[in-house]
Each structure stands twice: as C-alpha cells, then as structure tokens.
C-alpha cells in the first residue's frame, strides 16, 4: 500500500496543490516561519502576517537583530504569543550558533525553542529534502481513516503508533511534497465532518471508506467541559486623564504583552475586591473602583474568560511604597488613548481599547 499511496498522493498533489506563498520559496527560514504561524491558525489568517514578516525580516538574521517587542507588535492578532517569543529566541540561536543556516538534522531542530516533532519534520522534509515524516491533526485523521484505526488518538501511545505508521509509509523520494500532499488531503478532502470520499485520490485503499466508518475516525474520547474564569481589569486614570497599562511577565500566557492590569477572581470575592487585591499583588497600588465599563468574552486554548473592565481612580502606591512596584509585571506605563498603538495587547484588551475609542468618538 505504501508505494501506491505515495504515487496517488503525489499525482493528486501535482494537479491540486494550493498556490501558497511559502511554497514559492521553500527554504528553511520561510518553511519554519510559515509552519510556526500555521500552528492552530487558518491559512487565510496567516498569509497577510507571513507577507508582513518577510517584508520586514527577509532573513533569519534580520529577525534576530530586532527586539522582542517589535516581533510581538507584528504578531499582534495572530494569538498564541509564545510562538512569537520562541520565533525570536530561535532566530537568535540560528544567527549566533548556526551562522544563519538552519540545521537539517531533526534532533538539532528539536532542540530549538518552539520547534516540536511536527515542525522539525516539516522543515527537514520540505526545506532540506530529508526522508522524515510529519504528523499533524490532518495527517493523523488521514491515517486513522486509511487504516480504520479504532483507538483513541488523544492517547500518547496511539500517537506514537501513528508516527511510526507515517514513517513506514514514506516514499523513497519527494518526501517534502508527499508530506504536504498528505496534509493538504486532510485540509481539503478528508475533512473532519464531511470527507469528500467521492473525489479522494486514495479512496480505493481506504479501509474506513470500505467499512463506512469515516465519521467515527479518528476516535477521540470526549473532552471535559472547558473551564471559564472571570477576570477583573482596571481602567486606571491618573489626574491628567492618562491610563495605566502593565506589561505581563515574559514567560507564560500572553507573555510580554501589555494589558489593563488586574487578574482572575477568586472564590468568595467580588470583582472590585478581586481587582484591588490583584493590583496590590502585581503593582502595589491602590485604586478606587468605579463603574463597570465593558465585559469582553475571550476563548484561549484550554479555558475561556470574561474580562470585566472597571473604571478606576488611581490613589497612589500601597504604603510603605511611594510608587508602583513591579511585583507581577515587567513594566508599567501611563499612556494617553492616542498612544495605545505603540504597545502590543492581546485580543481581549484590544476589545476594551476599541470600546474606549468608540466612547470617545461618541463624545466628540
Ligand atoms: Fe478520507 Fe474518504 Fe479519502 Fe478515506 S476515502 S481517506 S475517509 S476522504
């Protein structure tokens, strides 16, 4: 089946491959950049970001020479910001330790920040022509159906088996195109809910098609409900009408991005109490919490939040301090609304900014 599969897929790919910008110059830098951007993100969303990044940073050295703040600014809106931090770290390692040339060896690629087994396989096979497999959600679905695998693919042992299957099916040559063909088959034809088996180039060898079990593959056990948190944030004004913003710690969720300071509500406290506690813990400041300005709902990968933004008046540092302290933030700044665009914010805080701008437009 292995030879027949690769032959059918490669022929189909020759005729149907999408014309994607990173396929026009498949070097390691562009492959890496596009693969990192495509993690958890739709192709159409990625394309404009990819063009903007390449225009500003045409080489890995150019990316390494810029600041993390600049990278985060350009990344804003693409989400999953740890990808941008890892991109920047890796660009510096490639520039300094590898003289700007990506290693083609999967083991060395795996040592780089933000490069997992899938991305390493993609760079090594697509950009370097190495005979190594890739396994993303699309490829996992295709193999689960082709072989009609009844086991739960959320289990690590099943994923490891699928990696082995992906390796066993590799053709001797054209591995980069073959891997891309597999992924594209999963994106366009062998889709999760409505596989287009009629137009599938590998239908004749698909065991799930023969058994009529396509929609039951890949088997995944049901996920627990996504947790939800309430988060309070302060629109803290000083006497000159400027707003306080704080920069999150470099590591962790939304690391390095700016926000209206605040945090997660704990059991037994009201949202204003939560806000006052968080502001003391993060910045050692006191505020008078006023009216609720806006609620914003936002979903992260593993949880959802409702951000409650309150109008606040700054009262000063928590005694004995005489000015704010960076206890849980990297930096803070007092800014006018016109200055917001100089800073990188996550999506929920951008929604708050949009609501602030709408209000000021209405008042004009
Ligand atoms: Fe997927 Fe249907 Fe093709 Fe099987 S025949 S690989 S289920 S699209």
Report the pLDDT averaged over residues 255-259: 93
Q: What class, spelled out in words, does domain 228-363 have in CATH? A: alpha beta
pLDDT digits (tens, 9 = 90+) for 25-79: 879 999 999 999 999 899 999 999 999 999 999 999 999 999 999 999 999 999 8
| 150-199 per-position pLDDT tens digit | 999 999 999 999 999 999 999 999 999 999 999 999 999 999 999 999 99
The band of 2, judged by pLDDT with boundaries at 50, 70 and 90, is: low
Report residues whose beta carbon is within 6 angstroms of any ligand 1 atom.
142, 145-146, 189-190, 195, 197, 200, 202-203, 206, 208-209, 214
DSSP assignments along 148-194, one per residue: T--SBTTSHHHHHHHHHHHHHT--SS-HHHHHHHHHHHHHHTS-SS-
Phi and psi at 154, nearest 5°, equal -80, -10
For residue 206, give the ligand 1 atom closest to its CA.
4
For residues 258 and 344, the answer to whether their CB atoms sit within 8 Å is yes
Q: How confident is the model at residue 301 (pLDDT cuts 50, 70, 90)?
A: confident
- On the question of pLDDT at 318 being above 90, the answer is yes
Given its phi and psi angles, is residue 191 left (phi above 0), alpha (psi -120 to 50 degrees) or beta?
beta
Domain spans of the chain?
A: 2-216, 228-363
Domain 228-363 in the same topology as domain 2-216: no
Residue 258's contacts (CB-CB under 8 Å, 6 or more residues apart) are: 245, 246, 247, 248, 333, 343, 344, 345, 349
Predicted structure pTM score:
0.75
Please, which residues have CB within 8 angstroms of residue 57's CB and are 6 or more apart in sequence?
A: 63, 66
Helix (H) or strand (E) holding 97: helix 82-97
Kindly give the distance from the C-alpha atom of residue 307 to the centroid of ligand 1, in angstroms, as a whole number. 42
Residue 172 annotated in active site: no
Q: E-strand spans in 25-127?
A: none
The pLDDT value recorded for residue 1 is 65
Choose which residue among 9, 141, 202, 204 to substitute to test ligand 1 binding: the one with the highest number of ligand atoms within 8 A of its C-beta.
Answer: 202
CATH number corresponding to 2-216:
1.10.340.30
At residue 216, the pLDDT reads 95
Burial environment of residue 3 by CB neighbours within 10 A (0 to 12, 13 to 18, 19 or more): exposed
Q: Whose CA is nearest to atom 7 of ligand 1?
A: 214
pLDDT at 86 over 80: yes
Question: Residue whose CA is closest, atom 5 of ligand 1?
Answer: 203
Whole-number pLDDT of residue 251: 85
Mean pLDDT computed over every residue of the chain: 94
Separation of alpha carbons 70 and 67, rounded Å:
5
Comparison of pLDDT for 311 and 254, the residue scoring more:
311
Reported confidence tier of residue 363, pLDDT bands at 50, 70, 90: low
Per-residue model confidence (pLDDT) at position 242: 95
Instruction: Determine the residue of 209, 210, 213 to mutate for testing ligand 1's pocket, defined as the one with the most ligand atoms within 8 A of the Cβ atom.
Output: 209
């Amino acid at each position: 089946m292995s030879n027949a599969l690769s032959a059918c897929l490669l022929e189909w790919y020759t005729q149907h491959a999408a014309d994607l910008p990173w396929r026009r110059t498949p070097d390691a830098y562009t492959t890496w950049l596009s693969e990192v951007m495509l993690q958890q993100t739709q192709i159409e969303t990625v394309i404009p970001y990819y063009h903007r990044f390449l225009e500003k940073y045409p080489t890995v050295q150019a990316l390494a020479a810029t600041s993390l703040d600049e990278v985060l600014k350009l990344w804003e809106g693409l989400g999953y910001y740890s990808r941008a931090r890892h991109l920047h770290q890796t660009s510096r390692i490639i520039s300094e330790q590898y003289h700007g040339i990506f290693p083609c060896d999967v083991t060395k690629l795996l040592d780089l920040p933000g490069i997992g087994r899938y991305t390493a396989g993609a760079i090594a096979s697509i950009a370097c022509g190495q005979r190594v497999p890739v396994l993303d959600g699309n490829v996992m679905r295709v193999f689960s159906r082709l072989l009609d695998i009844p086991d739960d693919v959320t289990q690590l042992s099943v994923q490891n088996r699928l990696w082995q299957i992906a390796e066993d099916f590799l053709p001797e040559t054209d591995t980069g195109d073959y891997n891309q063909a597999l992924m594209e088959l999963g994106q366009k034809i062998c889709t999760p809910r409505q596989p287009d088996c009629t137009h599938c180039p590998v239908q004749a060898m698909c065991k799930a098609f023969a058994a009529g079990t396509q929609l039951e593959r890949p088997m995944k056990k049901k996920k627990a409900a996504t947790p939800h948190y309430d988060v309070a944030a302060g629109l803290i004004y000083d006497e000159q009408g400027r707003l306080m913003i704080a920069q999150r710690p470099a590591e962790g969720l939304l690391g390095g991005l700016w926000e209206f300071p605040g945090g997660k509500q704990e059991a037994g406290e009201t949202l204003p109490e939560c806000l006052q506690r968080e502001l003391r813990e993060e910045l050692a400041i006191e505020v008078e919490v006023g009216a609720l300005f806006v609620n914003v709902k936002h979903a992260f990968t593993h949880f959802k939040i409702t951000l409650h933004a309150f109008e606040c008046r700054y009262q000063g540092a928590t005694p004995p301090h005489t000015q704010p302290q960076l206890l849980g933030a990297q930096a803070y700044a007092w800014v006018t609304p016109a200055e917001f665009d100089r800073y990188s914010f996550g999506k929920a805080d951008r929604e708050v900014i949009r609501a602030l701008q709408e209000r000021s437009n209405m008042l004009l």
